[in-house]
Amino acid sequence: MEIEEKVRKKRAEGIDIIDFGIGDPDLPTPPAIVEEVKRQLDDPENHRYPSSSGEPEVRRAVADWYKKRFNVSLDPDGEVVILIGGKEGIANICRAFVNPGEKVLCPDPGYPVYSQGGTLLSDAVPIKVPIRPEKNFLPDLDSLPSDARLFYLNYPNNPTGAVVTKEFLWRATTWCTETDTIFCYDNAYSEMTFDDYVAPSALGCCQGGRLIEFGTLSKTFNMTGYRIGFAVGDAKLVAGLKKVKAQIDSGAPMFIQKAMIKALEMYNGAERPQVVMDNIKVYQERRNVMVKGLRALGYKIDPPKGTFYLWLRVDMPSMKFAEKMLNAGIVCTPGVGFGEFGEGYVRFATTQPVARIEEALERMAKM
């Protein structure tokens, strides 16, 4: 927020800003989905209160997608809930299951909603789970406290771009079962992966257990502004989330929910459809240009296999680096904003076209 305020001032001064700050796709929603939203909006039936759990046919579409994409079978009535974006469910799951004073394991660096919107707003205690480059940004399961109520984990990872193996997910789900910890797996970037990497679902890597997984259309289909996502998994966890939601919201607008069906039906099997692959191609090219440019400037960075983020080690406090960048008209996010262990890094979201990335690299070179 501090950076945003500074950016606003710079823009007001007429300074040209290249913004790699927020993970908000600059590419448009695929036209077929936009058309479907319009079509659904024309139907007065869709102007009414939706169900806060999600319309039955929409839950069915999510279950069908899980079968196609991950070969995971779900009961659409008991094991699927539609969300107003993944963030909403990630925050509300704590309201449903975490009591004041209980411990919640939160990756650090990590998506801030785990420790703040989820944990702190429930008067619970966030426990930092360091994810470090020496361990490929995976947590050390053997060193985690076993008395926590809930454990958030997210791969492909924001902010590091790290990815996970099925084997690791097996270990994480087993650890949660053994310690009776609720496992919240955030798979927001499951479809945004590069090279040959295909992201698994944690649900495909466990034998039951108290696991809930979060998904969203935000990044896959460039739909951040529509606010639509879902959570799937253990029926008791899904029921708890539905119960909280029923008291807080009235569900995602029906015309958005129903358009989600069209988006998910674009998948014929596990393969990502053309519209998604077109996006991936764009982000992969940007990633490559950025990595090559940063390396030419002397930075050490590996191309991430997932997400549209680049997590760059810098040789000064991250806030100071971000400020210097801002003076050159470039916005990146200081790593410390993602937690204590994010210090010394900055995050770039490659939400700018290649020409702007090249311009930013030139500015950095001059600096």
Ligand X SMILES: Cc1ncc(COP(=O)(O)O)c(C=O)c1O
Residues that bind ligand X (CB under 6 A): 23, 85-87, 90, 111, 154, 158, 186, 188, 216, 218, 224, 229
Dist. CA 175–CA 119, nearest whole Å? 21
Return the number of the residue (157 or 284) whose C-beta is nearest ligand X: 157
SS3 state of residue 228: coil
Return the number of the residue (51 or 158) whose C-beta is nearest ligand X: 158
CA angle 10/14/18 to nearest 5° reads: 65
What kind and span of H or E run contains 329? none
Dihedrals phi, psi of 184, to nearest 5 degrees: -110, 105
Dist. CA 338–CA 325, nearest whole Å? 18
> Which residues, listed in sequence order, are joined to residue 128 by a DSSP beta bridge?
106
Return the number of the residue (113 or 326) whose C-beta is nearest ligand X: 113
Return the number of the residue (158 or 173) whose C-beta is nearest ligand X: 158
Dist. CA 179–CA 113, nearest whole Å? 23
Closest CA to 356 of 7, 26, 28: 26
Q: How far is the CB of 316 from ligand X (least distance, A)?
A: 25
Q: How far is the CB of 46 from ligand X (least distance, A)?
A: 21
Q: How far is the CB of 154 from ligand X (least distance, A)?
A: 5
Q: How far is the CB of 112 from ligand X (least distance, A)?
A: 9
Return the number of the residue (23 or 50) whose C-beta is nearest ligand X: 23
Return the number of the residue (40 or 158) whose C-beta is nearest ligand X: 158
Dist. CA 252–CA 261, nearest whole Å? 13
Return the number of the residue (23 or 200) whose C-beta is nearest ligand X: 23
Q: How far is the CB of 156 from ligand X (least distance, A)?
A: 9
Dist. CA 28–CA 25, nearest whole Å? 8
Q: How far is the CB of 42 from ligand X (least distance, A)?
A: 26
Quote the strand ranges of the chain, DSSP E. Answer: 18-19, 80-83, 103-108, 125-130, 150-154, 182-186, 211-216, 229-233, 309-313, 330-331, 333-334, 345-349
Q: How far is the CB of 324 from ligand X (least distance, A)?
A: 25
Dist. CA 78–CA 239, nearest whole Å? 7
